[in-house]
């Protein structure tokens, strides 16, 4: 089977991040880079905050309890994990699972945009406040969750419009049972948005 050019480009981007001084302090405390995984031709890219303990060990995003719930939500709209691409805004685990800092998010932002430019999804779904605010600085997650918004970003040197759907982080539903149904309901809008794009 021929290698997909997108796979090659993403691999080069991964190597570039690993070999550069991006968030070198975070890198020194993490086990490995958690770059992203899934279908490089995906219509949907999910972006979380940062790797946790399990992700740091396996090198895969969303493999712990949050990942199980994400898989469940994907199944609820008839989608498998292998159909989508999943990554995080910050790609090294912050110590003690603390929130990523603004400089850490800014350090990875151009590389995240490069990933999106390579994959070319129809929709970017942000999971949680941190990735949501990166795309939508005015975001109030409790108010704007589940509402698709079109924004302009620079992708591959050109300004382009992308559709961003901010959602609560799956972990929030593990702590707050009421948010579980909210997330499942918000997920139902993904096929509708794809049909419109």
Which tens digit of pLDDT belongs to each residue from 61-101?
999 899 999 999 999 999 999 999 999 999 999 998 899 99
Banded model confidence at residue 153, pLDDT cuts 50, 70, 90: very high
- Which tokens in the block code for residue 147? 């509402």
How many domains would you assign to the chain?
1
* pTM for the structure as a whole: 0.95
- Long-range contacts formed by 110-113: CB under 8 A, 24+ apart: 111/13, 111/16, 111/17, 111/22, 112/47, 112/87, 113/153, 113/154, 113/155
* Residue 3 scores a pLDDT above 60: no
Query: Residue 114 belongs to a domain with what CATH number?
Result: 3.40.470.10
Domain encompassing residue 30: 5-196
Q: In sequence order, which ranges of 94-151 are alpha helices (DSSP H)? A: 102-119, 129-135, 141-144
Q: Which two tokens stand for residue 88?
A: 């995080």
Report pLDDT for 27.
Answer: 93
What is the per-residue pLDDT across 118-144, written as a single tens digit (0 to 9) for each?
999 999 999 999 999 999 999 999 999
pLDDT in tens, 11-23: 999 999 999 988 8
User: Coil, strand, or helix at residue 9?
Assistant: helix
């Amino acid at each position: 089977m021929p290698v997909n050019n997108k796979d090659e480009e993403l691999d080069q981007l991964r190597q570039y991040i690993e070999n550069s001084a991006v968030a070198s302090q975070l890198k020194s405390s993490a086990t490995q880079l958690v770059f992203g995984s899934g279908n490089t031709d995906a219509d949907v890219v999910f972006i979380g905050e940062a790797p946790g303990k399990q992700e740091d060990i396996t090198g895969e995003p969303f493999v712990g309890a949050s990942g199980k719930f994400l898989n469940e939500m994907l199944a609820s709209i008839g989608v498998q994990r292998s159909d989508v691409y999943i990554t995080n805004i910050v790609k090294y685990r912050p110590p003690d699972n603390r929130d990523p800092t603004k400089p850490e998010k800014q350090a990875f932002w151009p590389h995240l945009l490069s990933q999106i430019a390579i994959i070319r999804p129809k929709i970017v779904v942000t999971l949680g406040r941190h990735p949501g605010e990166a795309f939508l600085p005015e975001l109030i997650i409790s108010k704007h969750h589940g509402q698709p918004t079109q924004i302009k970003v620079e992708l591959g040197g050109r300004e382009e419009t992308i559709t961003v759907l901010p959602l609560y982080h799956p972990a929030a539903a593990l702590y707050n049972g009421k948010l579980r149904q909210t997330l499942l309901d918000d997920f139902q809008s993904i096929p509708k948005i794809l049909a419109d794009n």
